[in-house]
Chains A and B, each alone.
Chain A
Amino acid sequence: MRWLPPTRLLVIMGSVLLPLMLLGLMMGPVWIAPAGVLRALADHFNASATAASSQEGLILFAIRLPRVILAGLVGVSLAVCGTVMQGLFRNPLADPSLIGVSSGASAGASVMIVLGGGALLQGGQAVGLSVIALGAFTGGLLAVALVYRLATSATGTSVATMLLAGIAISALAGALNSLFTFMADDAMLRRISLWQMGSLDAANWPRVWIAGLAVAILMTLLPREGPALNAFLLGESEARHLGIAVDAVKRKLILLTAMAIGVSVAVAGTISFVGLIVPHIVRLLIGPDHRYLIPASAMAGAILLILADAAARVVVAPAELPAGILTALLGTPFFFSLLARGRRGEVG
């Protein structure tokens, strides 16, 4: 079953990433040849006045480049946080939605869409994030805060209780979501359902900066917890016996996940399965050592989402599929095969 040497996988993915981004820049309703992409890039960095006015340059810099970068950043967040959750819950089938962040964000978005009204939605922008995105971010963080509070007692935070609390809070957020869907009119309904499918079509530079900041924080603070996550896989008591400050590490991991997933849901909606399947595939390839698993999942997540988003732009051109549909379409068969193998005792 295993394995690739971890460094080899990192090198392979690293060398795939740039060509893939180039591909992402080329694909769309208007095809831009590689030469065109490179010329526009060169022009842009020469800062000549003509670059911005050319049509290709405009498409590239106003639309495609932020979109490709945002896809990469969101892919990193989802995949890395999925890795963290699977380690924290010691369950290869865990993903970030377990702690309520995704459903909380969905409910937050629905609330904003329905209560915010049309006027607010047209004009309401703050630092490049729509009011809906802010609602989603707040909803996600609120849900995680609740789950964490419910699971934390004097004796520490129980991961098992957190799992149950996550399910309960997700159900609550789901009910809230349904309630607002019920209250919504037709236009709002379409918005809600599109938003929940997850898409990168609202990408712009401010969103890139926000997501970039989140990913920078995540990837600065997380990799040093690799050994702690490895020890967690033995169980919390064992991790403690191995000298890990279990509760502090747990709090840090949950905070980082809530922050990164909150941001990624706010800028791109709920994109399913990346957080579940990417860590899984990577673990099958290089084994469960988090010191390699975290960077490798990050790169694999970026690759998958850039690819899915590029495909989303062309499969039904000139219309566009939400990328969340494509990741789920790719993810579900894999998930079923995992479940089937799990029943035969091969997963884990």
Chain B
Amino acid sequence: MSLSARNLSLTLSNTPLLGAIDLDIQPGRITTVLGPNGAGKTSLLRVLGGELQPDTGNVSLNGRKLTEWSPRQRARILAVLPQHSLLNFPFTAAEVVMLGRTPHDSGLEHDREIVTQALKAVDGDYLAERIYTQLSGGEKQRVHLARVLAQIWAPCLEGERFLLLDEPTSSFDLAHQQLTLDVVRNLALQGVGVLMVIHDLNLAARCAHQMILMQCGKIVVAGSPVEVLNQDTIARVFQVTATIGTHPVNGTPLVIT
């Protein structure tokens, strides 16, 4: 059981965005996707999330094609956190998180409990009754993180759960970047398969089981952080010269540019 892509390609308005992508996201493992701007990271995430239909190939979720799932059942096990949110209505933060429970029929009491827990998990319990539109950018992003957490909070009958995140740390301060990594690691420990698009090589290296470097819509290298992060690949993909060290405490590769 996994979220798997086979031979994906995608062309929008004559621009090839993705080509020949093969990818498996395993339950309990964290995959980070890196690459320069326009490499196709977000497109990949949108195809995996079922938002865009690939021109060739297919995506399967727990052995069934994405398109064969009913939208509601699929939403119980596959959550997506986009880079930006369009929400512009004065919900409270708790109400926004509650939207994550839309695909479930678990009852109001139970859902409220999950909302409280999810907000606590992102260090946002103090936000619960605040009006979403009045929050700071980082607070809003945390609320949405709590929302997708609430969506896939507990194991359910549809099978293994997966979470796709598009630059979840982009507007966070250092402490909340760490917090996000902890949240993601915790999810993986509970068996959730995570795919995360991220720009910070070192953050990516710290939490990833699998790292993917993309360029021009293709996967250039995939493997463990140690396998992927070396001077050669970084020069090839990002066109920068980097020194690779080792993190003094946890031993992961450390990229110094």
A and B associate in one complex: yes
Please tell me which one of the listed residues A91, A227, A243, A288 contacts residue B90 in the complex, with CB atoms under 8 A apart.
A288
Contact status A234-B49, CB under 8 Å: no
A234-B75 CB under 8 A given contacts A227-B102, A240-B50: no
Known A230-B102, A234-B85, A283-B89; 10 more pairs at CB < 8 Å? A90-B86, A233-B87, A233-B88, A235-B82, A241-B78, A242-B75, A242-B102, A242-B151, A244-B102, A283-B90
**A to B CB contacts below 8 Å, 19 in the list:** A2-B90, A2-B131, A230-B102, A233-B89, A234-B85, A234-B87, A235-B85, A237-B82, A238-B85, A240-B50, A240-B71, A241-B50, A241-B78, A242-B99, A243-B72, A244-B102, A287-B91, A288-B91, A348-B89
Residues of A within 8 A of B51 (CB): 237, 240-241
Residues of B within 8 A of A126 (CB): none
CA distance A230 to B99 in the complex (A): 7
The 10 A-B residue pairs whose C-beta atoms are closest, nearest first, are A243-B75, A243-B103, A243-B72, A235-B86, A288-B89, A242-B102, A241-B80, A348-B88, A243-B71, A233-B89
Q: C-beta contact mask, A208-240 vs B, less than 8 Å → 1, else 0?
A: 000000000000000000010011011101101
Please tell me which one of the listed residues A2, A242, A348 contacts residue B100 in the complex, with CB atoms under 8 A apart.
A242
A243-B85 CB under 8 A given contacts A230-B99, A231-B102, A348-B90: no
Residues of A within 8 A of B90 (CB): 1-2, 283, 287-288, 348
Contact status B92-A287, CB under 8 Å: yes
* Interface membership of A96, Cβ < 8 A: no
Contact status A92-B89, CB under 8 Å: yes
CA distance A234 to B99 in the complex (A): 9
CA distance A245 to B69 in the complex (A): 12
Question: Taking CB as reference atom, which chain A residue is nearest B95?
Answer: A289
CA distance A284 to B97 in the complex (A): 20
Question: Taking CB as reference atom, which chain B residue is nearest A241?
Answer: B80
CA distance A296 to B86 in the complex (A): 25
CA distance A261 to B46 in the complex (A): 36
Residues of A within 8 A of B74 (CB): 243
Shortest Cβ gap from A339 to chain B (Å): 16
Question: Taking CB as reference atom, which chain A residue is nearest B75?
Answer: A243
Q: Give the interface of A toward B (CB within 8 A).
A: 1-2, 90-92, 227, 230-231, 233-235, 237-238, 240-245, 283, 287-289, 348
Shortest Cβ gap from A343 to chain B (Å): 15
CA distance A317 to B5 in the complex (A): 73
CA distance A2 to B92 in the complex (A): 10
Q: Give the interface of B toward A (CB within 8 A).
A: 46, 49-51, 70-76, 78-80, 82, 85-92, 95-96, 99-100, 102-103, 131, 133, 151
Residues of A within 8 A of B49 (CB): 237, 241
Shortest Cβ gap from A345 to chain B (Å): 9
Residues of A within 8 A of B92 (CB): 287
Q: What is the predominant secondary structure among interface residues of chain A facing chain B?
A: loop
Question: Taking CB as reference atom, which chain B residue is nearest A228?
Answer: B102
Residues of B within 8 A of A237 (CB): 46, 49, 51, 80, 82
Shortest Cβ gap from A41 to chain B (Å): 41
A235-B87 CB under 8 A given contacts A241-B79, A244-B102: yes
Contact status B103-A289, CB under 8 Å: no
Interface centre among B72, B87, B102 (most CB of A within 10 A): B102
Please tell me which one of the listed residues B87, B88, B95, B103 contacts residue A242 in the complex, with CB atoms under 8 A apart.
B103
CA distance A246 to B70 in the complex (A): 12
Question: Taking CB as reference atom, which chain A residue is nearest B70?
Answer: A243
Shortest Cβ gap from A30 to chain B (Å): 46
Residues of B within 8 A of A242 (CB): 75, 99-100, 102-103, 151
Interface centre among A233, A235, A238, A289 (most CB of B within 10 A): A238
Residues of A within 8 A of B87 (CB): 233-235
CA distance A283 to B89 in the complex (A): 9
Shortest Cβ gap from B102 to chain A (Å): 4
Residues of B within 8 A of A2 (CB): 90, 131
A245-B131 CB under 8 A given contacts A234-B87, A234-B99: no
Residues of A within 8 A of B96 (CB): 234
CA distance A227 to B78 in the complex (A): 19
Shortest Cβ gap from B168 to chain A (Å): 15
CA distance A231 to B89 in the complex (A): 11
Residues of A within 8 A of B100 (CB): 242
Contact status A1-B99, CB under 8 Å: no
Residues of B within 8 A of A287 (CB): 90-92, 95
Shortest Cβ gap from B61 to chain A (Å): 13
Residues of B within 8 A of A235 (CB): 82, 85-87
CA distance A53 to B103 in the complex (A): 59
Residues of A within 8 A of B50 (CB): 240-241
CA distance A238 to B76 in the complex (A): 13
Shortest Cβ gap from A155 to chain B (Å): 9
Interface centre among A92, A234, A240 (most CB of B within 10 A): A234
CA distance A334 to B95 in the complex (A): 27
Residues of A within 8 A of B99 (CB): 230-231, 234, 242
